[in-house]
Chains A and B, each alone.
Chain A
Amino acid sequence: MVSQVQLTIAPASVAEVAQETPDTFTLVLNLADGRGPKDFVPGQFNMLYLLGIGEVPISIASSPNERRVMHTVRSVGTVTSLLAKLRPGDKLGLRGPFGKPWPMKEAHGRQLIVVAGGLGLPPLRPVILEAIRKPESFEGVKILYGVRTPSDLIFQSEFPAWEKAKGCEFFVTVDRGDAKWKGNVGVVTTLFPGAGIKPSQAVAFVCGPELMIKFVILELVKIGVPKERIFVSMERNMKCGVGTCGHCQLGPNFICKDGPIFAYPQIERFFPKSGV
């Protein structure tokens, strides 16, 4: 159901900025209306707004148990390149949250497979934190994270905690290594054979570029993970957030309200078809 926070831009200010990579940064926000991370469920997104410039849909990177709402953004377009210039104390607008969250309950009692490609990691970060907080809810957690190069890795300061967490295994791969890189080289699916995935018990949460999602789904299905236990976060050009502007259609779905999280069978007919 539509709520007022989805239709009205709420004032917010920047509490902290963390530079993740040369072009990617995390904004930690204070909301003037007093809302905090618990009001934003993992998997949902907000529209971040700069007065006179416009809005951009950005996934929620904070976990409900943290102190402040966080968004990790890559500077690529008009709005995001200006968001990159924000410093603590600067003002912006926020509309949301929008969309369906990750179905955490579907993973309870099962092996949780988190597959992230590049900037697909921020919307999965709260999933990881939730899994680490309640390891007893899952039959193990596997985090598989792929990026183009070692310098594209984000949230690096959190990696040790993810590696050490009970029941949790963290795997990283890069498409192209550099002189210092000693880890795995190859696309994210090359991590699958060594990750100890138990297909019959697994529930997969996948987010990343469409091409990566496509190959991850193919691989998961191939190793025997049931399609209805593969959940993907889809990205389109969300504008209104409530299914009235028509921009984010994927077949009959408005990704902003019917997604962005879909069980794979919901979109199988249209994805990974090209050009829909």
Chain B
Amino acid sequence: MASTPKFEKKYAFFGIRPCDLAAVRVMDKTMLVPGLEDSIYESRRKNSIFVVVNCARAEANCFCASMGTGPRAESGYDLSITELPGKLIIDVAEGRRNLLEGVELRPSTEQEVRSEDEVILRTRRQMTRHIDNESLATRMYAAIDSPSWSVVADKCLACGNCTMVCPTCFCNTVREEADLVADSVTRVRVWDSCMSKDFVYSAGGNPRLQRRDRYRQFVMHKFAYWHDQFGLSGCVGCGRCITWCPVGIDITATVNDVLGESPQGKEKMEVLQVG
């Protein structure tokens, strides 16, 4: 009767960025809830290796520095690579030396390590979007009634692009796929979006009828609820939701607006101190 497909194929995620590696860490929490492990995710995850490339350049919508997920991956990879002019600095996770068999390697010099730090620092400084992540969940909870939600949501089309490109969105539904000939049905888990009107519709009505309600749910889930549900932030600062928003909504601006803050100054100060 019930059966779930197994995936034993091996995957190498080569050249993924620190924000996406952080997203895998988030997915490990949402997909591998103790006792409810998603067997498909689990088998794929187990058969995957991650070669992360640290970012030597920030794109316009990046804010990983604010979320503490980049521009350098700190853990969770098998190999991490930083590109320096004419050479690569490679960090090998414990027990992963075998992945570099046949590659000509030498220990990096102190100067090269300093250059790597400089590259990472330069990338941090390039970022123009900032959120103050300090106790962010608590501050977001306090901002749930901010009038700014409505201002942003006035632009929002509730198209769902943000949820489709977000690397941590996990909400899903089950589709019944009936075979017209045989009397069998396959129940298929598919991705769903909290931006759709149907998402919370039930016999009692629709608790999130307004676009404001649905947009607020998306943002509050990432920055506040997620912490209580899974013990970490649901946002990794990849900036894809900004890139793909057809009306130019910037999630960092939303957060700063509802909090009534302008963290630009603070973030810059931190960066300068590090440097």
Q: A interface vs B, CB < 8 Å?
A: 1-2, 7-9, 51-55, 74, 76-77, 80, 119, 209-210, 235-237, 239-240, 242-249, 251-252, 254, 269-270, 273-276
Contact = CB atoms under 8 A, between A and B. Distances in A.
B200 A52 contact: no
Interface of B: 2, 30, 33, 35-36, 38, 141, 144-145, 170-174, 176, 178, 183, 185, 192, 194, 199-205, 207-210, 212-213, 216-217, 220-221, 224-225, 227-229
Q: In the A-B complex, list the 5 residue pairs whose CB atoms are closest, starting with the nearest.
A: A275-B213, A246-B171, A252-B228, A52-B178, A252-B225
Contact of B176 (A54, A80, A245): A54
A8 B2 contact: yes
A53 B176 contact: yes
Contacts of B205: 209-210
A244 B178 contact: no
Contacts of B194: 246
Contact of A275 (B192, B216, B229): B216
Contacts of A7: 36
Chain B contact residues, majority secondary structure:
mixed
Given A246-B221, A247-B199, 11 more contacts: A9-B2, A52-B178, A74-B203, A76-B203, A235-B202, A237-B199, A245-B171, A246-B172, A252-B225, A254-B229, A276-B216
A275 B209 contact: yes
B37 to A, nearest CB: 10
A243 B33 contact: yes
A275 B210 CA distance: 7
20 contacts: A51-B178, A52-B176, A54-B174, A235-B203, A237-B200, A244-B30, A244-B38, A246-B171, A246-B192, A246-B194, A247-B171, A247-B173, A251-B220, A251-B225, A252-B225, A270-B144, A273-B144, A275-B207, A275-B210, A276-B213
Given A275-B208, A275-B210, A245 B221 contact: no
Given A249-B225, A275-B212, A242 B36 contact: yes
Contacts of A252: 224-225, 227-229
A7 B189 CA distance: 13
A210 B33 contact: no
Contact of A245 (B172, B203, B209, B225): B172
A7 B228 CA distance: 24
Q: Which of A239, A245, A249, A254 has the most CB of B within 10 A?
A: A249
Contacts of A275: 207-210, 212-213, 216
Nearest to B33: A244
Contact of A276 (B38, B171, B207): B207
A247 B213 contact: no
Given A52-B176, A252-B229, A276-B217, A245 B192 contact: yes
A137 B144 CA distance: 42
Nearest to B221: A249
B170 A237 contact: no
A270 B170 CA distance: 22
Contact of A239 (B174, B209, B225): B174
Contacts of B36: 2, 7, 242-244
Q: Which of A1, A235, A237, A275 has the most CB of B within 10 A?
A: A275
Given A246-B192, A249-B217, A269-B141, A77 B203 contact: yes
B217 A2 contact: no
A270 B36 CA distance: 27
Nearest to A73: B203
A209 B204 contact: yes
Nearest to B145: A273
B244 to A, nearest CB: 20
B122 to A, nearest CB: 38
A275 B144 CA distance: 11
Contacts of A235: 202-204
Contacts of B33: 243-244
A274 B213 CA distance: 8
B203 A276 contact: no
Q: Which of B33, B36, B192, B209 has the most CB of A within 10 A?
A: B36
A243 B29 CA distance: 12
Q: Which of A9, A244, A270 has the most CB of B within 10 A?
A: A244
Nearest to B212: A275
B171 A237 contact: no
